[in-house]
């Protein structure tokens, strides 16, 4: 039996709809895949005929190929991932490769062949290829049935200029745009369930995400910081986060709690967080803030209180979960792989010095008057300077140089 070179075909949808910028999106996705597959036996990665093809070293095992393709399926910008083989533009070889690919596709009862030629210099047309390769598969799998609509497995055969690609195992990707194609954002990242999902959603839209975690330290333990690091490690697997700043915030919350009316504490905490996040965004060259807020979920997330916190900053604030309920967010967190981490108890700034009856309908004028008693601008600079950065493996993230940070 011929031993074929294993490949991973990366299909995309939204990128393919781009006009003159399409090539830059494709190259961004290609570069992200190169970095994220660095530990796998990859020979090279090329753009071919509206696809990206990952060529694996000869002798690569099926398990390794599946592991690599599963990682690829979770990378933003990827619509579908197919595992298969490269072979010569020879019908006998293509049929043999199709038999091997179908045998590795898992359990199935029905199948069909979907062949196409991208160059007319190959004499056999798509219909004829379907018949020839389909006949070989029927002979190899006599107990399986051909089904043209909604089969269990579709065997793909693509004939390009210098080779043919044959595959059967195909899994959906997460879609979206490649990280690095939509600028940079700063995400308020807690150890809770919501904000990691919000961060991932912005990464899926092509943004390079930088987290800011407000820790209750030194008024609480640093347990939440370890959970946030675990969350960032999950996001890091598919290049969805570049850096996390940890901000010791407890002492400033204590000062707020001693100065402002108790019912306004939560709004004041949020406003100061937003201002610090905006300063870090300025230093990073980011264009927006991101939070995991969902309308009406807690006291700080009412329409009036959101207006009070938004007034504190000039940057736009993105809330990708604003119309999502808790069960939907939990389901997303489970798919993402952060839910179990976020479900662990850890004291953080969100529960520190909480009032018994927080204001749910804050008024901007009242908030500004109370805030005038605090040295906010001095605090913002102090807190941003004290923020502790930790970098993660994001191919699209390039830390700014210190001089750039100072100049803004």
| Token output for 399 | 């830390």
Determine the Cα–Cα distance for residues 181 and 26; give it in Å rounded to an integer.
10
Nearest C-alpha neighbor of 81 from the set 68, 94, 95, 63:
68
pLDDT confidence bin for 402, thresholds 50/70/90: low
Going by the annotation, the residues of the binding site are 188-189, 213-214, 270, 292, 301
Is-contact 133 156, C-beta < 8 A? Answer: no
pLDDT tens figures, 135-181: 999 999 999 999 999 999 999 999 988 899 999 999 999 999 999 99
Determine the Cα–Cα distance for residues 300 and 302; give it in Å rounded to an integer.
6
Going by the annotation, the residues of the binding site for ATP are 188-189, 213-214, 270, 292, 301
Q: What distances in angstroms separate CA 322 from CA 46, 197, 306, 343, one per listed residue? A: 39, 12, 11, 21
Average pLDDT over residues 14-40: 88
Say which residue, 359 or 115, is predicted with more confidence. 115
Say which residue, 85 or 405, is predicted with more confidence. 85
Instruction: Tell whether the model's pLDDT for residue 75 goes beyond 70.
Output: yes
How high is the pLDDT of residue 189? 97
Instruction: Provide the whole-model pTM.
Output: 0.90
How high is the pLDDT of residue 228? 97
pLDDT confidence bin for 33, thresholds 50/70/90: very high
pLDDT tens figures, 242-279: 999 999 999 999 999 999 999 999 999 999 999 999 99
Is-contact 293 255, C-beta < 8 A? Answer: no
pLDDT tens figures, 347-397: 665 666 667 778 889 999 999 999 999 999 999 999 999 999 999 999 999
How high is the pLDDT of residue 292? 96
Is-contact 171 11, C-beta < 8 A? Answer: no
Q: What distances in angstroms separate CA 174 from CA 71, 77, 81, 140, 386, one per listed residue? A: 11, 7, 10, 34, 36
């Amino acid at each position: 039996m011929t031993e074929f070179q294993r490949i991973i075909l990366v299909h995309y949808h939204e990128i393919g709809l781009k006009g003159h910028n399409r090539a830059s999106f494709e190259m961004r996705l290609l570069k992200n895949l190169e970095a994220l597959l660095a530990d796998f036996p990859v020979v090279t990665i090329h753009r071919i005929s509206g696809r990206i093809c990952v060529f694996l070293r000869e002798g690569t095992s099926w398990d390794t190929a599946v592991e690599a393709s599963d990682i690829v399926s979770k990378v933003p910008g990827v619509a579908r991932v197919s595992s298969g083989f490269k072979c010569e533009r020879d019908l006998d070889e293509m049929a043999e490769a199709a038999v091997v690919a179908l045998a590795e596709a898992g359990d199935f009862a029905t199948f069909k062949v979907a062949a196409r030629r991208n160059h007319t210099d190959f004499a056999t047309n798509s219909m004829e290829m379907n018949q020839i390769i389909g006949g070989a598969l029927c002979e190899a799998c006599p107990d399986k049935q051909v089904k043209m609509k909604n089969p269990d497995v579709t065997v793909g055969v693509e004939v390009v200029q210098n080779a043919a690609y044959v595959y059967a195992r195909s899994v959906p990707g997460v879609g979206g745009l490649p990280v690095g194609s939509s600028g940079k954002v700063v995400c308020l990242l807690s150890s809770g369930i919501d904000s990691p999902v919000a961060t991932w959603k912005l990464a899926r839209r092509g943004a390079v995400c930088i987290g800011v975690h407000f820790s209750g330290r030194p008024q609480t333990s640093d347990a939440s910081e370890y959970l946030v690091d675990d969350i960032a490690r999950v996001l890091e697997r598919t290049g969805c986060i570049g850096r996390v700043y940890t901000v010791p915030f407890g002492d400033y919350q204590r000062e707020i709690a001693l100065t402002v009316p108790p019912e306004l504490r939560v709004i004041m905490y949020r406003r100061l967080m937003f201002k610090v996040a905006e300063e870090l965004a300025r230093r990073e060259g980011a264009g927006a803030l991101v939070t995991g807020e969902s309308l009406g979920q807690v006291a700080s997330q009412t329409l009036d209180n959101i207006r009070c916190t938004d007034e504190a900053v000039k940057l736009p604030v993105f809330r990708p979960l604003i119309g999502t309920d808790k069960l939907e967010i939990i389901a997303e967190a489970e798919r993402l792989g952060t839910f179990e981490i976020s479900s662990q108890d850890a004291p953080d700034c969100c529960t520190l010095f909480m009032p018994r009856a927080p204001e749910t309908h804050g008024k901007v004028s009242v908030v500004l008057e109370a805030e005038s008693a605090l040295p906010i601008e001095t605090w913002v600079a102090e807190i941003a300077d004290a923020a502790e950065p930790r970098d993660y493996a994001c191919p699209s993230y390039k830390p700014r140089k210190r001089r750039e940070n100072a100049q803004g």
